[in-house]
Amino acid sequence: MMPYGTEALHIMRAEKGFIMIGDETDGTIIPQDLNLNWAISKKKEDFLGKRGQQRSHMTDPNRWKLAGFEAEGGKVIPEGAYIVAEGTNANGQRNTQGRATSTYYSPTLDRGICMGLIKGGMDRLGDTVEFNLLDGGTMAAKVVDPVVYDPEGKKQNV
- pLDDT means per 10 residues in the chain (158 residues)? 79 93 88 88 84 86 94 90 95 94 93 95 96 93 95 79
Report pTM: 0.87
pLDDT score recorded for residue 117: 97
pLDDT score recorded for residue 2: 64
CA torsion, ordered 124, 122, 71, 11, to nearest 10 deg? 180
Which residues have C-beta within 8 Å of that of residue 19, sequence separation ≥ 6? 25, 34, 66, 115
Pick the CATH number of 6-156 from 3.40.1710.10, 3.40.50.1460, 3.10.150.10, 3.30.1360.120: 3.30.1360.120
Domain extent listing, the chain: 6-156
pLDDT score recorded for residue 119: 96
